[in-house]
Amino acid sequence: MSFLLSSHRLIPLMPAWLLLGFLWTPGPPALAASGQTPDDERIAAATQSILTEITEERHQIHQHPELGNRETRTAALVAEHLRKLGLEVKTGIAYTGVVGILKGGRPGPVIAVRADMDGLPVTEDTGYAFASTDRTSYLGKEVGVMHACGHDIHTAVQLGVASVLASFREDLPGTIQFIFQPAEEGPPPGEKGGAELMLEEGLFRDLRPEVVFGLHTFAEMEVGKVGYTVGPAFAAVDHFRARIIGRQSHGAQPQQSVDPVVMAAQTVMGLQTIRSRNLHPLEPSVVTVGIVRGGERFNIIPAEVLLEGTVRTYDPEVRDTVERRMHEILGGITQAGGGSYEMDYQRGSPATINDVALARWAVPVMTRVVGAGNITELPPTMGGEDFALFANEVPGFYYRLGMVQPGTVSGGHHTPTFKADDASLEVGIRVMSTILVDYLASGGLR
């Protein structure tokens, strides 16, 4: 079970989502804004003036997606755009990451905003005129490449925000660090990447912000709407590979085998008892076997079977319990069957926990832009986000952007029919620009 004691720590008292009722109560935000307010009309007008350019850039990015640590074309487009705005630009961070620094004309805090740039090994089936037809090699196979999670929208929105705020930089009281991150979906095997590598290479050491903001498209939300979560928002993401080792034999002579297929089937079922019998019923967690691979021919019992999958949790102690029980289940089943096992369990990004005070502060700001009827509080999701690594360094707030036109249908994230509408760009730019300007004008967290 989980209880949020602060913006960065969970202690095992109650489930994460039940906590929200205790933390989020109606009334004024915990952080009152100062007397300064942003010029909302100026942000809206500046957004309109650059919307055609940003839409064209979104189409370019979407039409030519690139996998993690290989976002060279996208990074070049981003860097060129930022240089034209007169920002200080750094490239080659974590292979292909780009950072732009916008220094305001008045003193104030340093803040950061992050967008991810990588695509996925998915073959697009959207019907867009700017659909991707690009292909590349992934894990030894030729695959299609697609922005099937909206990272093209994220990147384009952030380019738009940089353009809007650069147009009145002399009035900004502070500095904004625009982070364009590679490999959010994970780097290629054997490589480091993403937020982890950017931080290792000194991203926040060279210029440390006091807060970090980010957004993600949401395939279940219409354009014009935004969603938020106070506290726990995205789960920790772990990746496991288990090799179940037996002894090969003819399929007609099973008594001569140590059958890894049978052991694998028992293991898949056994792993589900972790969630159902070892953890509290209200504790959010997932154990998913996504790959079962083994065998070469219908009448041969193979020597081994590979299981591969993911674990999603919110509580570090639950994370430990799941990994321990996986070893116990694999060990018990393979020993009973006369075989053995090997497991590589890799811990990925931790849970994304939105800073409570920062989230409470941001909700009225977003509401002012989109209207009270277009903002929704969302429950935590078991999806994962390496934005968590930035938010573990400094207080962070990560929210969802509606992307589907009313009356149309988008496939889910990571599917060939995922469709994020261009109209989401304007909303995304205006909301994020207003958040950043309001934060700087307020003088920061107090």
As a whole number of angstroms, the distance between CA 347 and CA 12 comes to 20
Q: Are 93 and 160 in contact (CB under 8 A)?
A: no
| Residue 170 identity | E
- What are the φ and ψ backbone dihedral angles of 274, each rounded to 5 degrees? -65, -50
Show the tokens assigned to 435. 């958040």
Q: Are 148 and 124 in contact (CB under 8 A)?
A: yes
Among residues 71, 152, 184, 323, the one annotated as catalytic is 184
Q: Is 315 a catalytic residue?
A: no
Name every residue whose Cβ is closer than 8 Å to that of residue 135 and which is 6 or more positions away in sequence. 142, 143, 144, 145
Name every residue whose Cβ is closer than 8 Å to that of residue 216 and which is 6 or more positions away in sequence. 150, 154, 385, 398, 399, 400, 401
Taking each helix axis from N to C terminus, what angle separates 151-166 and 40-63, rounded to the nearest 10 degrees? 140
Q: Is 184 a catalytic residue?
A: yes
Q: Are 435 and 366 in contact (CB under 8 A)?
A: yes
Which of 444, 274, 284 has its CA nearest to residue 355? 444
Element at 321 (helix H, strand E): helix 316-337
Residue position matching structure tokens 């920002």: 87
As a whole number of angstroms, the distance between CA 351 and CA 387 comes to 9
Among residues 118, 238, 283, 304, the one annotated as catalytic is 118
Which one-letter DSSP state was computed for residue 146?
B
As a whole number of angstroms, the distance between CA 162 and CA 157 comes to 9
Q: Are 168 and 46 in contact (CB under 8 A)?
A: yes
Burial 352-387 (b: 16+ CB within 10 A, else e): bbbbbbbbbbbbbbbbbbbeeebbeebebbbbbbbb
Name every residue whose Cβ is closer than 8 Å to that of residue 273 and which is 6 or more positions away in sequence. 329
- The catalytic residues are 118, 184
